[in-house]
Amino acid sequence: MNKFNGFLYGLLSSASFGLIPMFTIPAMMQGMQFDSILLYRFLFATLALGGILLLNGESFRINRSAIPSLILLALLYLMSAVFLFWGYKFMASGVATTLHFMYPVMTTLIMMIFFHERKSIWRFLAIALAITGVFFLSRGDDSGSITLIGIIIVLLSALGYALYLVTVSQLKVGQMKGLLLTFYVFLFGSLLLFIGINVSGTLQMIPDLRTGGNLIMLAIIPTVISNLALVRAVKSIGSTLTSVLGAMEPVTAVSVGIFMFGEPFTSNIGTGIALIITAVTVIILKR
């Protein structure tokens, strides 16, 4: 029963993360820029995570020496989120989320190149499958809506998250409890976004109640709930199976794009998604 619950939590974590476009695209349609959307997401998520930590009676105390590491992690997480949201302007949200799902492949490449992690034919095969999948996705729906610049932008999102994961694993701060670490990453991320927006532009106010609701849901469902479910899943079934269940992330995003926003789904897109999911699954199982 515990393992069954673990599978449910794993599916909930990945599926809820795949709902990011459901709440982001409508806000963009109301004229909000992705930097303002991200700030509200980070801010509301920080408040929610802080409330959970308070309810659990956990301490917010951290060593001052951990602050530079947490700021670095916040920058890497921001890099990933900014490029993903920016990518929604260049291609269907489902395709963008699938390209973002390349991060385990990039994590493996980084570990092999810079940390001398063991190489194997399975990993090279998975990397080849992923590259082939990107090729099929680049052909998209033959309308020219998926451009090279768009692909590069979203792959930078995947690279940002891969660097975030590698950095967490290499720094002492990675030993912090998951929720506390996430709270401070989002807290510092909010501060960095606020500073950046005030330097480069103006923070947009939430235009209406419906958009406000979408921004709150963006912070709660694919951020807080996804993280809580992830922690439960890892405790119940381990990190490997939880990571494999992460394949629900692009599947959910593609489904949302098709049924909510009328995004196209062609044989090229289907083949590309299948190849990338297969590549990521091979990477995870062979780690």
DSSP conformation letters of 215-263: HHHHHIIIIIIHHHHHHHHHHHHHHHHHHHHTTHHHHHHHHHHHHHH--
User: From first to last of its 287 residues, what are the pLDDT tens digits of the chain?
Assistant: 677 888 888 899 889 999 999 999 999 999 999 899 999 999 999 999 999 999 999 999 998 899 999 999 999 999 999 999 999 998 889 899 999 999 988 988 888 888 877 888 988 999 999 999 998 888 766 655 678 899 999 999 999 999 998 888 888 876 788 889 899 999 999 999 999 998 877 889 999 999 999 999 999 999 899 888 887 887 788 766 777 788 888 989 999 999 999 988 888 889 999 999 999 988 888 76
Structure tokens at 172: 């002492």
The per-residue pLDDT for range 102-123, each reduced to its tens digit, is 998 898 888 888 887 788 898 8
CA angle 52, 54, 59 (to 5 degrees): 115
How much is the pLDDT for 143? Answer: 58
Q: What is the DSSP letter of 176?
A: S
- Say how far apart CA 46 and CA 24 lie, in whole Å: 18
Domain of residue 180: give its range.
2-286
The per-residue pLDDT for range 173-213, each reduced to its tens digit, is 767 888 898 999 999 999 999 999 988 778 899 999 999 99
How much is the pLDDT for 1? Answer: 64
Contact yes or no for 101/249 (Cβ under 8 A): yes
How much is the pLDDT for 217? Answer: 96
Contact yes or no for 95/146 (Cβ under 8 A): yes
How much is the pLDDT for 12? Answer: 92
Count of residues making up the chain: 287
- Say how far apart CA 109 and CA 66 lie, in whole Å: 27
How much is the pLDDT for 139? Answer: 77
Nearest to 82 by CA among 196, 182, 227, 238: 196
Q: How many domains does the chain have?
A: 1
Tell me if residue 114 falls in helix, strand or coil: helix
Residue type, 214: N
How much is the pLDDT for 269? Answer: 87
State pTM to two decimals: 0.90
How much is the pLDDT for 265? Answer: 86
How much is the pLDDT for 10? Answer: 86
Structure tokens at 180: 């506390």
- Residue 233's φ and ψ, nearest 5 degrees, are -65, -45
Look-up of token digits 């990521």: 280
Q: What is the DSSP letter of 205?
A: P
